[in-house]
Amino acid sequence: MNYTDVDDKIIVRARQQHLLRVFKQERLEATSDVTGTRLAALEAYLTKNLPRISQSTSPENVESEITKHYSAVLSGHPLDPGTLPGDREAKVKMHIKTARGASTAIGGLEQGRDLSEDNLADLEDVIMPWLDQKFGSSVAEKAIFLELTKNFEERFEQDMVNLNCLAPDIITRVSDYAAQIVKFVQVIQQNGFAYSLGGSVYFDIEAFEAAGNTYARLEPWSRQDAKLIAEGEGSLTEAASEKRSTADFALWKASKPGEPSWDSPWGKGRPGWHIECSAMAVDKLGDRIDIHSGGIDLSFPHHDNEIAQSEAYFCHGKKSHQQWVQYFFHTGHLSISGAKMSKSLKNFTTIRQALNSGDWTPRGLRIVFLMHSWSDGIEINEGSKDKGSSWEEKLNNFFINGKAVLEDPDHVGIKDSKHDLDGELERKKQETYEALCDSFDTPTVMDNISRLITAYNTVDPSTVSQATTKSIAFWVTEMVNMFGLNGIATPETATTIGWSGIDVPEGSKPILISLSNRRDSLRRKAKADAVVKDDLTPIPIPVSSHTLSEAQTRTRASFAEVLKNVNQDIDALDATKSAKDLSKDVLRLCDRIRNVDLWDNDVYLEDREGNKPALIRLVTRELRATKEQEQARERKKQEDKEKREKDAAAKVEKGRLSHKEMFRSLEFSAWDDDGLPTKDKEGEEISKSRKKKLQKDWERQKKLHEVWTEAQKK
């Protein structure tokens, strides 16, 4: 694996962060912007990234100018009529967010207000490019550039460990290969496929093709794409008008002030982006590579240039050389909200952030990736996450139930000709082999595993032999181990079934088994209303036969405390009650042990039908989510019940006032025997229409009062 620790983007970012550190030490958050840096940086940022806004716009007026010039983009419309919104509009929205935050920060600093971290981060993003433009050429120490990449290398390596990725056999770094890269470029030039110009060396595409070679083999349709060509050369590279062709790319770049440099026959310089990969790959892998990988965005110009310069290196005497790379794996992009995750768009989530958020686990991420073809893009959303979680929980349950079958000495499994699970297993093995041979079709393999488990789950367990269960469970385990979904898989665990996260801690098993067995016994008797005093003996705390680590000892102690409390609760049961009443108390205790005592310690007892013992399993995220949903439904049910009761009580309460008294107020002056008004307060007769309305109100209250009267009798 190659670490690119020298390229244009790295150089710019390292300079910016170094200059920002210096500036922060001096005056970034000073109340007074004595040097005018913040305002100047904002002006430069607006000019470059939001050109419709005048660069002289004051921070307090930035928001109104954004509304005036970019409201359409913020509403989802394109910058130019007749086009579709895309990355360009996404970048404008990002720049708007940054400009807003920076403007707020500038105003807040001048007024002495406290600022949010987001606002300060936006201000930094505005200031860094300006500092680099002004002072970038003064940065000279190589250590500044290498320090940045070293930090990211360490993060990347830790992310790979967290995702259960195997470490590379060999790691190469550009900064360690400068001398070899110089020699590599010299050979290409000697072979007639490169020329020097102003201290730089360029690849001669025309000469390469004239020798019978093909350029842009991966994306021939992109070879005239000026934007991609410019991106491939880097933001610090100034186009040389003397180049033989605008498409010729740099093998070696003359270093300018503020850029790292190494000695070369052409003067102080640094490697081009593409050449570094060729030089290091050839050094370690030679003149033929079977598989080369990378993101699809690297196809052109990076990989096409890499192919050309590598084959030019081996093309002695201008004779066409054999194909250097046999297969390219160009992986698709991750997307979020329909847009490609990108640093430049600031719409990305790092592996570390995803895992620390609690929303994802290493296994969960790998499952989602495996459910999509390596060459396709993946939309990261709740749908893909839920689909992956369902697949994972399905296997959790299969492994737990399968192990229970294999550990059950009474399970026989009478062969039933109605199912052919052994044959289905062989078919899925063959289909999986064919899928993996077909461009590593992992989605089909994941589906095969799921379908096999579905077939197993739909068959009567009593008709499945332990041998069949074992064969299926072993194959599924083999597949998840191969796909890196079992974080504890080693060659030594090849004979085990399942994956990490389904077994309770080894040192705590004796306690949990003892507690679960007694609960099973009490629960069976309680369901039959047959609990008696002699059943209420304390549960002994078994002694562990394992040497426990400190963490295992703490875990065991917590379960020992649970068992101790359960024993106290058993002792507190009123054994003088009838068997029926005592059994009700025991059932409540059994439910609490399952739903509270053990659940709060991340263990769940899954009760099964008949006399089968409860399964002892760890609480998974899916189990926890299911319980939370059930609790939410119960809360809603209880809230609805309370509302109905409250509404009913309010309706009854309305009837407290007698219908014969309801109209006896100053609004009227005379009433009949039923309390209905006959004259208003002036002594005038009640009109016929009003009398009709009063009659309806009276009848309604009469019914309510009758209900209230009956309620008082209860």
Q: What is the pLDDT of residues 47-89, one digit of tens each?
A: 999 999 998 899 999 999 999 999 999 999 999 988 988 888 9
Q: Please check whether residues 147 and 238 belong to one and the same domain.
A: no
Pick 632 or 544 by higher pLDDT: 632
Give the Cβ contact number of residue 538 at 10 Å. 13
CA distance 2 to 562: 52
pLDDT of 129 > 80? The answer is yes
Could you tell me which of 668, 689, 688, 690 has the C-alpha nearest to residue 679?
668
Residue 85 lies in domain: 2-162
Count of other CB atoms within 10 angstroms of residue 32: 8
Write phi, then psi, for 618 (nearest 5 degrees): -75, 150
Other Cβ atoms closer than 10 A to 291: 9
**Does residue 349 register a pLDDT over 60?**
yes
Asked if the structure places residue 372 within a domain, the reply is: no
CA distances for 685 relative to 662, 676, 679, 691, angstroms: 19, 12, 4, 10
Q: Which whole number is the average pLDDT over 523-549?
A: 86
pLDDT for res 639: 93
Indicate the Cα dihedral angle 525, 530, 536, 537, nearest 10°: -70
C-alpha closest to that of 105 among 124, 86, 79: 124
Question: Same domain, yes or no, for 308 and 453?
Answer: no
The reported pTM is 0.81
Q: What is residue 521's predicted lDDT score, i.e. its pLDDT? A: 95
The number of angstroms, rounded, from the C-alpha of 673 to the middle of its chain's C-alpha atoms is: 76
Query: Is 125 domain-assigned?
Result: yes
- Do 539 and 566 meet the contact criterion of CB atoms below 8 Å apart? yes
Q: Of the candidates 106, 137, 162, which is a domain's last residue?
A: 162
For residues 91 and 71, the answer to whether their CB atoms sit within 8 Å is no
429-441 pLDDT, tens digit per residue, is 999 999 999 999 9
Place of tokens 């098993």: 509
Statement to judge: residues 591 and 660 lie in one domain: no
Q: Distances from the Cα of 183 to the Cαs of 276, 303, 312, 317, 324, in angstroms?
A: 12, 21, 14, 18, 19
Residues 18 and 155 in one domain: yes
Token pair for residue 544? 């562990």
**Which residues is 291 bridged to in the sheet?**
327
pLDDT at residue 337 tops 90? no
Q: What is the predicted pLDDT for the residue at 517?
A: 95
In a domain, 374, yes or no: no
* Alpha carbons 336 and 523: distance in angstroms, whole number: 49
C-alpha 680, offset from chain centre: 73
Residue 346 falls within a domain, yes or no? no
Burial class (CB in 10 A: 0-12, 13-18, 19+), 607: middle
CA distance 100 to 114: 16
Lookup: tokens for 232: 């491939």
pLDDT of residue 339: 67
Per the CB < 8 A criterion, the answer to whether 617 and 504 are in contact is yes
Kindly report the average pLDDT of the chain as a whole number. 90
CB under 8 Å to 383, separation ≥6 — which residues?
none
| DSSP secondary structure, 196-253, as one string | EETTEEEE-HHHHHHTT--SSSS-GGGTT-HHHHHHHH-TTPPPPTT-S-TT--EEEE
**Amino acid code (one letter) for 221:** W
Q: Which of 130, 162, 194 is the last residue of a domain?
A: 162
SS3 content of the chain, % helix, strand, coil (to 5): 60, 10, 35
pLDDT of residue 82: 87
Q: Do both 137 and 36 map to the same domain?
A: yes
Query: Do 536 and 479 fall into the same domain?
Result: no
**Is 443 in the same domain as 512?**
no
What angle is formed at CA 105 by the lines to CA 100 and CA 108, rounded to 5 degrees? Answer: 125
**Could you tell me which residues come within 8 angstroms of residue 187 by beta carbon, excluding any fewer than 6 positions away?**
313
82 and 43 assigned to the same domain = yes
CA-CA distance, 657 to 103, in Å (whole number)?
A: 64
Handedness of CA 236, 242, 248, 251 (dihedral sign): negative
Total count of domains within the chain: 5
531 in the Ramachandran plot: left (φ > 0), alpha (ψ -120 to 50) or beta?
Answer: beta
DSSP codes joined into one string, 60-112: GGHHHHHHHHHHHHHTT--SSTTS---HHHHHHHHHHHHHHHHHHHHHHHHHT
pLDDT at 319: 60
Dihedral angle over CA of 542, 543, 549, 555, nearest 10:
20
Residue 680 lies inside a defined structural domain of this protein: yes
What's the pLDDT at 548? 65
The answer to the question of residue 625 being in a domain is: no
The CATH number of the domain where 270 resides is what? 3.40.50.620
| β-bridge mates for residue 299, sequence order | none
**Single-letter amino acid code for the residue at 380:** I
> What does the block give as tokens for 312?
């030019």
**What is the DSSP pairing of strand 334-336 with strand 339-340?**
antiparallel
Domain shared by 564 and 676, yes or no: no
What does the DSSP 8-state code read for residue 593?
Answer: I
Domain end position, chosen among 279, 311, 334: 334
pLDDT band at 242 (very low <50, low <70, confident <90, very high): confident
Phi and psi based region of residue 196 (left: phi greater than 0; alpha: psi -120 to 50; beta: remaining): beta
Banded pLDDT at 44 (limits 50, 70, 90): very high
Q: Which residues are 173's β-sheet partners? A: 3
pLDDT tens-digit readout, 639-688: 999 999 898 888 888 888 899 898 999 999 999 999 999 999 889 999 99
Classify residue 647: in a domain, yes or no: no
- Asked whether the predicted pLDDT for residue 40 surpasses 70, the reply is yes
Omega of the bond leading into 129 within 30 degrees of 0 (cis): no
State residue 236's pLDDT score. 87
What distance in Å separates the CA atoms of residue 554 and residue 324, rounded to the nearest whole number? 57
Q: Which two tokens stand for residue 305?
A: 């240039």
Rounded CA separation 163/612 (Å): 37
Mean pLDDT of 7-16: 93
| pLDDT at residue 512, rounded to an integer | 94
- Residue with more model confidence, 29 or 674: 674
Other C-beta atoms lying within 10 Å of the C-beta of residue 437: 9
Where does residue 684 fall: left (phi above 0), alpha (psi -120 to 50 degrees), or beta otherwise?
A: beta
Q: Is residue 22 part of a domain?
A: yes
Residues 283 and 391 in one domain: no
The band of 32, judged by pLDDT with boundaries at 50, 70 and 90, is low
Taking alpha carbons only, the member of 364, 371, 357 closest to residue 396 is: 364
Find the Cα–Cα–Cα–Cα dihedral 106, 110, 111, 112, rounded to 10°. 100
Read off the pLDDT of residues 255-312 as tens digits, 9 standing for 90 and up.
999 999 999 999 999 999 899 999 999 999 999 999 999 999 999 999 999 999 999 9
Model confidence pLDDT, tens digit, residues 429-475: 999 999 999 999 999 999 999 999 999 999 988 889 999 999 999 99
- Residues in contact with 602: Cβ distance below 8 Å, sequence separation at least 6, in sequence order: 618, 619
Residues 438, 562, single domain; the answer is no
Does one domain contain both 278 and 130?
no
